[in-house]
Chain A
Amino acid sequence: GQNIDQPTEMTATEGAIVQINCTYQTSGFNGLFWYQQHAGEAPTFLSYNVLDGLEEKGRFSSFLSRSKGYSYLLLKELQMKDSASYLCAVRFRKKLSFGAGTTVTVRA
């Protein structure tokens, strides 16, 4: 089975940095994805890690440690529009298994 854990909620102020952790225990691993999902909308792709290390893309960075079953998504210079749910997903055998999502609220 797949077990993917991430915090339920996080709150931060505009301009700050927030780190969303994700731990996973899965029967296999072909990569880890982070998605952003606004309420009532479909997820949009943010990042992908398949090797250990940090992937940086603008204000968003994602880190992976396969030996620890651990990833984090780092959001820098937070903006109000970053208020959303952030989903961690692990791919195995072409299927994605999602965590429950972390709701990030950005306050002025």
Chain B
Amino acid sequence: GAVVSQHPSWVICKSGTSVKIECRSLDFQATTMFWYRQFPKQSLMLMATSNEGSKATYEQGVEKDKFLINHASLTLSTLTVTSAHPEDSSFYICSARGDPKGESSYEQYFGPGTRLTVT
């Protein structure tokens, strides 16, 4: 159980275009989803936290107008990178949690990641 999928797994786009990444919890309802970014040989950096039906909470330094997050249902969250530039090339990973109290030991499950390359 507790499977999280991401689509696409790999995408190349031209500078100035927008890219949408989907994150789905396949066998549980995710009340909270997290979006991370990871540059080569660096750790995961939390970009934003989204709760179903409400606006996402962005971490300091993350542009909310550039990284649009929508958590329209309990099983789907999307991250749209708008007007992408080469410096946005990174590995984007989503994570989902199904326990609304957030107290269980390892209730945060990670998707397989999306590698974005902006040319």
Task: Write the residues of chain A forming the contact surface with B, with a CB cutoff of 8 angstroms.
Answer: 31, 33, 35, 40-45, 48, 50, 87, 94-101
Contact = CB atoms under 8 A, between A and B. Distances in A.
Interface of B: 32, 34, 42-46, 49, 91, 93, 95, 97, 102, 105-106, 108-113, 115
Nearest to B104: A48
A50 B105 CA distance: 8
User: Which of A48, A98, A100 counts the most chain B CB atoms within 10 A?
Assistant: A98
Contact of A96 (B46, B111, B115): B46
Give chain B's interface secondary structure class: strand
Nearest to B40: A39
A39 to B, nearest CB: 10
Contacts of B106: 33, 45, 48
A86 B112 CA distance: 16
Given A40-B91, A87-B43, 15 more contacts: A33-B106, A42-B93, A42-B110, A42-B112, A43-B44, A45-B109, A48-B105, A48-B106, A94-B32, A95-B34, A95-B46, A96-B44, A96-B46, A98-B44, A101-B43
A35 B91 CA distance: 17
Contacts of A96: 34, 44, 46, 95, 108
Given A41-B112, A43-B110, A97 B102 contact: no
Given A42-B93, A48-B105, A50-B105, A98 B43 contact: yes
A42 B113 contact: yes
A42 B111 contact: yes
Contacts of B108: 96
Contacts of A48: 105-106
